[in-house]
Amino acid sequence: MGRKLLFEHIDKPGIRGLEGYRANGGYRSVEKALKTMSPEAVLEEVKKSGLRGRGGAGFPTGLKWSFLAKPEGVPRYLVVNADESEPGTFKDRYLMERIPHILIEGMITSSFALGAKVSYIYIRGEYFYVARILEQAVAEALAAGWLGKNILGSGFDHEIHVQVGAGAYICGEETALLESLEGKRGNPRIKPPFPAVKGLYDCPTVVNNVETIAAVVPIVNDGGEEYAKIGIGKSTGTKLISAGGNIKRPGVYEIDLGITCDEFINSDEFCGGVEGRAFKAVVPGGSSVPIVPYELFLKTPAGENRLMTYESLADGGFAQGTMLGSGGFYAYNDAQCIVRSTWNHTRFYHHESCGQCSPCREGTGWMEKVLHRLEHGEGRTEDIDLLWDIQRKIEGNTICPLGDAAAWPVASAIRHFRDEFEYHVHHRQKVKDPKHFEKEPFALSRKFATA
Ligand SMILES: Cc1cc2nc3c(=O)[nH]c(=O)nc-3n(C[C@H](O)[C@H](O)[C@H](O)COP(=O)(O)O)c2cc1C
Ligand code: SF4
């Protein structure tokens, strides 16, 4: 059983409110930081912890904070990314819904380190009820003196605002988020300049994921070195994984980075294995990361046990590896159709493309059309190469990574499950029945995947 840093008290009665949270040691990191530490010392602990951004890219948090420009007389901002629209990802919602004060606490401590007097939580429109929970937590913290002027007599002032988005996946991309927060259409900006130099209202800004900022609480409480003892190599600490699909025990789990993938998917502490059938494929980090056959999820190309870390999941590159991403984990059993799932993902990316770049705007639509006809028994053999060609022309040729995120699921599905795409061309009548693979599980692709 691993250590729980964020979820330790999550099931305690009354933990959502300030009183219950305080009774379980809440706001200790604010007391420690504001009364006994300098902002630089807090930053140092975050650097020592090895914490990497939990929003998907895994960028080292301490390093990002150290890039923050500090010109005289210009405000700095912390913006918490609670957009969480990546299909398969629902960890931040669970954390904010159950224990909102851990985020507020992390924001105060982090803002102290960054010298930010104002911070924002940008939360997706569909999480409206969670925004209400956060607003309540902010009001409680303000009334109790954890927010406002001269917090704990330290001279540090801080205010937090909760901003609800209109519900667009692209507003999770940090620069689109900033545009939206400024009241404009959420179109990604061209980088550089990066937000650390020119962010919200053109001022230096740090954008971090909800889980990243919550992790600052145990880091400051116990010290960065203690945090870095959990995990392996550059994957330190714990990670929230939202698990779904064809597993016995869907839910949100806090894992020690470094447990084996086998333990995560098969043990009763976590996913509990598959119900009644065999696993076929896994997407470990949200819909943007490459899908891998089950066998490749369990073992690296060298035949070693694969671990739930940034490095091990990526071992083998895109040809044979995948990514930890946002921790939006889902597994497919052998009754699932990979073509159907890929079509579904592509519909999403086409719908969510902001339309600024032609390869993304047009390419996602073309891929959707081709996948639609393959899935509906109207595909042609050359469609598979056409799909491959389109995704290649999107990848790396766009303003923001949504283009890549749309390309990678298609590329990996063809790479590992090409025979399933071919089956759709050669068995047009059969694949018109969306439940076809329930009756005739797709044995071919499992053979192909391990070859
Ligand atoms: C299309 C797109 C959607 C994204 N959605 C989210 C999101 O919902 N939440 C999030 O934290 N990061 C999201 N990101 C990543 C952010 O741009 C940014 O890297 C992240 O918020 C930084 O925080 P971190 O360093 O704590 O991970 C998204 C990126 C892209 C390209
Ligand atoms: S890649 Fe897509 S979503 Fe990103 S800026 Fe270009 S068109 Fe918009």
Per-residue pLDDT at 451 exceeds 70: no
Choice among 20-34, 401-415, 431-445 with the minimum mean pLDDT: 431-445
Rounded mean pLDDT, 332-348: 96
54 Cα: distance to centroid of ligand 2 (angstroms): 22
β-strands 251-256, 328-333 pairing: unpaired
Token duo for residue 374: 């393959």
Per-residue pLDDT at 292 exceeds 80: yes
Query: Does residue 171 have its Cβ closer than 6 Å to ligand 2?
Result: no
Nearest CA to ligand 1 atom 30: 173
Token duo for residue 63: 């390093």
The pLDDT value given to residue 218: 98
Using CA atoms, how far residue 52 sits from 8, 55, 58, 113, 349, in Å, is: 20, 9, 5, 17, 26
Nearest CA to ligand 2 atom 4: 400
SS3 category, 199: coil
The pLDDT value given to residue 1: 64
Supply the angle between the helices 402-426 and 443-450 in degrees, to the nearest 10.
Answer: 120
Decide yes or no: CATH 3.40.50.11540 for domain 18-229: yes
The pLDDT value given to residue 264: 98
* Residues written for the chain: 451
Supply the angle between the helices 382-394 and 358-375 in degrees, to the nearest 10.
Answer: 160
Residue among 83, 209, 211, 404 whose CB has most ligand 1 atoms within 8 A, to mutate: 209
Per-residue pLDDT at 345 exceeds 60: yes
Token duo for residue 255: 């894992």
Helices (H), 115-149: 128-143
Residue 340 to residue 385: CA distance in whole angstroms: 17
* CATH code assigned to 232-333: 3.10.20.600
- 260: burial class by Cβ within 10 Å (0-12, 13-18, 19+)? middle
Q: Which ligand is nearest to the CA of 52?
A: 1
Nearest CA to ligand 2 atom 6: 357
125 Cα: distance to centroid of ligand 2 (angstroms): 20
Query: Does residue 403 have its Cβ closer than 6 Å to ligand 1?
Result: no
CATH, domain 338-448, list 2.60.40.3680, 3.30.1180.20, 1.10.443.10, 1.20.1440.230? 1.20.1440.230
172 Cα: distance to centroid of ligand 2 (angstroms): 12
Query: Does residue 208 have its Cβ closer than 6 Å to ligand 1?
Result: yes
Q: Which ligand is nearest to the CA of 288?
A: 1
Choice among 64-78, 254-268, 377-391, 424-438 with the minimum mean pLDDT: 424-438
Which residues does residue 409 pair with via DSSP β-bridges, in sequence order? none
Residue 428 to residue 143: CA distance in whole angstroms: 64
Residue 246 to residue 278: CA distance in whole angstroms: 10
Residues of the chain with CATH 1.20.1440.230: 338-448
Token duo for residue 246: 């064809």
Are the beta carbons of 69 and 195 closer than 8 angstroms? no
Are the beta carbons of 243 and 251 closer than 8 angstroms? yes
Q: 70-79 pLDDT, tens per residue?
A: 888 999 999 9
Per-residue pLDDT at 201 exceeds 70: yes
Are the beta carbons of 43 and 113 closer than 8 angstroms? yes
Residues of the chain with CATH 3.10.20.600: 232-333
Cβ neighbours, 10 Å, residue 317: 10
Residues of the chain with CATH 3.40.50.11540: 18-229
Residue 407's closest CA among 330, 333, 353, 450? 353
- 434: burial class by Cβ within 10 Å (0-12, 13-18, 19+)? exposed
Q: Which ligand is nearest to the CA of 360?
A: 2
Cβ neighbours, 10 Å, residue 200: 24
Residue among 103, 174, 187 whose CB has most ligand 1 atoms within 8 A, to mutate: 174
The pLDDT value given to residue 449: 41
The pLDDT value given to residue 347: 97
The pLDDT value given to residue 448: 42
Rounded mean pLDDT, 434-441: 80
Q: Which ligand is nearest to the CA of 174?
A: 1
Query: Does residue 81 have its Cβ closer than 6 Å to ligand 1?
Result: yes
Residue 213 to residue 124: CA distance in whole angstroms: 17
Query: Does residue 172 have its Cβ closer than 6 Å to ligand 1?
Result: yes
Residue 75 to residue 99: CA distance in whole angstroms: 29
Token duo for residue 388: 């491959």
Would you give the DSSP letter of residue 396? Answer: T
Per-residue pLDDT at 445 exceeds 70: no
Nearest CA to ligand 1 atom 20: 55
Token duo for residue 373: 């006809």
SS3 category, 204: coil
153 Cα: distance to centroid of ligand 2 (angstroms): 46
- Average pLDDT of the chain, as a whole number: 95
Cβ neighbours, 10 Å, residue 179: 20
Question: pTM of the full predicted structure?
Answer: 0.96
Residue 308 to residue 284: CA distance in whole angstroms: 9
188 Cα: distance to centroid of ligand 2 (angstroms): 7
Share of the chain above pLDDT 90, in %: 92
Would you give the DSSP letter of residue 250? Answer: -
Q: Which ligand is nearest to the CA of 81?
A: 1
Q: 260-272 pLDDT, tens per residue?
A: 999 999 999 999 9
Looking from the CA of residue 61, the nearest atom of ligand 1 is 25
Query: Does residue 353 have its Cβ closer than 6 Å to ligand 2?
Result: yes
The pLDDT value given to residue 443: 61
